[in-house]
């Protein structure tokens, strides 16, 4: 069977694997080429299909959503320090809540859990900052964020240490299974006729083991910006009316192939996985030391624990990110200045018992100068960016991808887009969660 219509006349072999439509090589022409097959690329394909665009998603790895997507904790929260990101994530969370209905995938389970986010303050300065933040969040309409005294927090969460002075808590924050989310977007994009409100004409195919080598450009006079007209890959060259780069930590490198300089800093982030840990209350919230950013949440039959230290140096984008056992001991050893025992008494018992099995995963956040994503068209005609999420790719993937597609179709005025690529950069404290 060959792809037809706006996918061009090149005969290609199509296979469907667990609901996702794959091609051995790209078709001759598409409306939209999406570079990157993680959760952001898959979300872009979903919203493009819903809007009637025919797209192809290009992923250089053998399977979709296998680089940074599965290394994340899958967490989402509305407790942001700026209203624009709060609303972007809120849009995605509303979709998560009704994912099966909104995608037409009956019974698709995201593993959604709403156990909350609990930020614990151990110092007066941290407590004062938290109080000011909660006041701003309430002014933005996020009125269900609670500010708890230390005693109130310990009454509700008995594992908190006596040193916790105050906590801010929102019960409706939580987490989900990130790869199920990405593959759900991919299946829905492959079968847009199932999407409620779909008007026809769109759909996505996916090409794995397909590396982008270059972007084709038109022949404009010297001194003018040349438009992107197609993509050269390891499996062939094809024409595309639009290109969206959604390649996580590789976004900056791929943008450079198109002649666009983007400041994106890939930064290693590690995750400690303790698959069996009886000390962990199974319904505990994401629990965060508001001063060190060390945090943990229930996962598997144990938990996931992280420390997103603010001074980690950036590096080149990596397919294989190294792990560090010293980093793990920094979380577990009570003698560490960012030990999990600072906030949660149960971790001292885990350390003293000394029998817990654990292992590490590592990926990369892609930080921008203001720790907010690049979303939408660029100075290179035909090229858009959906990246630079600075650690918020799972939670903001839906809202960000919808915005990128709407900007591409000129449904939104680029001038009012707070995440535009050429925005003035206001230096903010790096959000390390």
pLDDT of residue 222: 60
- Give me the domain span that covers residue 216: 5-71+178-264+369-416
Range from 106-110, 197-201, 205-209, 316-320 carrying the lowest mean pLDDT: 197-201
pLDDT of residue 5: 39
First to last CA, the chain: 46
Q: Do 168 and 248 fall within a single domain?
A: no
Number of domain units in the chain: 2
Whether 431 shows a pLDDT value over 90: the answer reads no
Q: Do 353 and 310 fall within a single domain?
A: yes
Whether 186 shows a pLDDT value over 80: the answer reads yes
pLDDT of residue 78: 98
pLDDT of residue 197: 83
Q: Do 277 and 149 fall within a single domain?
A: yes
CATH number at residue 124: 3.30.9.10
Q: Do 167 and 288 fall within a single domain?
A: yes
In a domain, 88, yes or no: no
Phi-psi map region of 53: left, alpha, beta (phi>0 left; psi -120 to 50 alpha): beta
| Per-residue model confidence as pLDDT tens digits over 293-346 | 999 999 999 999 999 988 899 999 999 999 999 999 999 999 999 999 999 999
In a domain, 211, yes or no: yes
Measure the CA–CA gap between 381 and 229, rounded to whole angstroms: 9
pLDDT of residue 14: 87
Contact present, 393 and 68 (Cβ < 8 Å): yes
Q: Per-residue confidence at 10, pLDDT binned at 50, 70, 90?
A: low
Average of pLDDT values for 269-297?
97
Residue spans of alpha helices (H) in 6-51: 39-50
Q: Do 60 and 17 fall within a single domain?
A: yes
Average of pLDDT values for 266-271?
97
Average of pLDDT values for 80-86?
96
| Per-residue model confidence as pLDDT tens digits over 93-122 | 999 999 999 999 999 999 999 999 999 999
Radius of gyration, CA atoms only, the chain: 22
pLDDT of residue 347: 98
Whether 430 shows a pLDDT value over 80: the answer reads no
Average of pLDDT values for 222-245?
90
Measure the CA–CA gap between 70 and 135, rounded to whole angstroms: 34
Q: Per-residue confidence at 3, pLDDT binned at 50, 70, 90?
A: very low
SS (H, E, C) 43-97: HHHHHHHHCCCEEEEECCCCCCCCCCHHHCCCEECCCCCCHHHHHHHHHHHHHHH
Q: Do 270 and 342 fall within a single domain?
A: yes
pLDDT of residue 311: 86
Whether 7 shows a pLDDT value over 80: the answer reads no
In a domain, 87, yes or no: no
Out of 366, 395, 425, pick the residue that ends a domain: 366
Please report, for residues 30, 37, 48, 105, 342, the alpha-carbon distance to residue 63 in angstroms, rounded to integers and kept in the order given.
22, 8, 21, 21, 40
Measure the CA–CA gap between 369 and 431, rounded to whole angstroms: 11
Measure the CA–CA gap between 108 and 99, rounded to whole angstroms: 8
In a domain, 334, yes or no: yes
| Per-residue model confidence as pLDDT tens digits over 116-147 | 999 999 999 999 999 999 999 999 999 999 99
pLDDT of residue 309: 86
428 versus 285: which is more confidently predicted?
A: 285
Contact present, 10 and 56 (Cβ < 8 Å): no
Q: Per-residue confidence at 224, pLDDT binned at 50, 70, 90?
A: low
Which one-letter DSSP state was computed for residue 280? S
What one-character-per-residue DSSP string does 332-378 give? H-TTSTT-GGGTBTHHHHHHHH-----EEEEEEEEE-TTSS-EEEE-
pLDDT of residue 12: 63
pLDDT of residue 4: 35
Q: Do 350 and 393 fall within a single domain?
A: no
In a domain, 424, yes or no: no
Whether 43 shows a pLDDT value over 80: the answer reads yes
Q: Do 299 and 227 fall within a single domain?
A: no
Contact present, 75 and 394 (Cβ < 8 Å): yes
Range from 23-37, 211-225, 407-421 carrying the lowest mean pLDDT: 211-225
Q: Do 230 and 287 fall within a single domain?
A: no
Q: Do 298 and 287 fall within a single domain?
A: yes
In a domain, 308, yes or no: yes
Average of pLDDT values for 58-85?
97
pTM over 0.75? The answer is yes
Q: Do 137 and 276 fall within a single domain?
A: yes
Average of pLDDT values for 278-301?
97
In a domain, 162, yes or no: yes
Contact present, 271 and 393 (Cβ < 8 Å): no
CATH number at residue 385: 3.50.50.60
Q: Do 259 and 270 fall within a single domain?
A: no
């Amino acid at each position: 069977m060959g792809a037809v219509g706006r996918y061009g006349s090149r005969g290609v072999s199509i296979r469907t694997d667990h609901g996702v439509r794959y091609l051995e090589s790209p078709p001759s022409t598409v409306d939209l080429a999406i570079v990157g097959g993680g959760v952001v690329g898959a979300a872009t394909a979903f919203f493009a299909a819903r809007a009637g665009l025919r797209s192809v998603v290009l992923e250089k790895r053998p399977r979709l959503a296998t680089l940074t997507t599965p290394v994340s904790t899958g967490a989402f929260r509305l407790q942001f320090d700026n209203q624009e990101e709060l609303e972007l994530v809120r849009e995605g969370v509303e979709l998560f809540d009704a994912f099966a209905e909104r995608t037409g995938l009956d019974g698709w389970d995201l593993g959604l859990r709403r156990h909350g986010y609990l930020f614990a303050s151990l110092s007066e300065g941290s407590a004062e900052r938290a109080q000011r933040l909660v006041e701003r969040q309430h002014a933005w309409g996020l009125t269900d964020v609670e500010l708890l005294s230390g005693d109130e927090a310990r009454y509700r969460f008995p594992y908190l240490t006596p040193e916790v002075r105050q906590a801010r808590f929102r019960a409706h924050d939580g987490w989900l299974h990130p790869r199920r989310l990405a593959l759900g977007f991919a299946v829905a994009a492959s079968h847009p006729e199932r999407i409620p409100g779909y008007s026809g004409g769109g759909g996505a195919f996916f090409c794995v083991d397909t590396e982008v080598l270059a972007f084709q450009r038109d022949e404009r006079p010297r001194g003018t910006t040349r438009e992107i007209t197609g993509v050269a890959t390891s499996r062939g060259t094809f024409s595309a009316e639009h290109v969206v780069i959604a390649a996580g930590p590789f976004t900056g490198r791929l943008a450079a192939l198109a002649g666009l300089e983007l400041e994106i800093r890939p930064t290693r982030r590690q995750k400690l996985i303790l698959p069996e840990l009886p000390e962990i209350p199974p319904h505990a919230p994401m629990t965060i030391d508001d001063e060190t950013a060390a945090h943990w949440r229930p996962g598997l039959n144990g938990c996931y624990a992280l420390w997103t230290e603010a001074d980690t140096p950036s590096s080149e984008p990596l397919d294989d990110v190294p792990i560090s056992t010293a980093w793990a001991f920094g979380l577990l050893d009570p003698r560490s200045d960012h030990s999990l025992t600072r906030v949660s008494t149960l971790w001292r018992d885990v350390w003293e018992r000394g029998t817990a099995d654990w292992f590490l995963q590592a990926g990369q956040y892609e930080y921008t100068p203001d720790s907010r994503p690049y979303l939408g068209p660029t100075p290179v005609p035909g090229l858009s960016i959906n990246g630079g999420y600075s650690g918020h790719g799972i939670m903001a993937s839906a809202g960000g991808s919808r915005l990128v597609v709407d900007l591409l179709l000129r449904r939104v005025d680029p001038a009012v887009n707070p995440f535009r690529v050429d925005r003035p950069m206001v230096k903010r404290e790096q959000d390390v969660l």
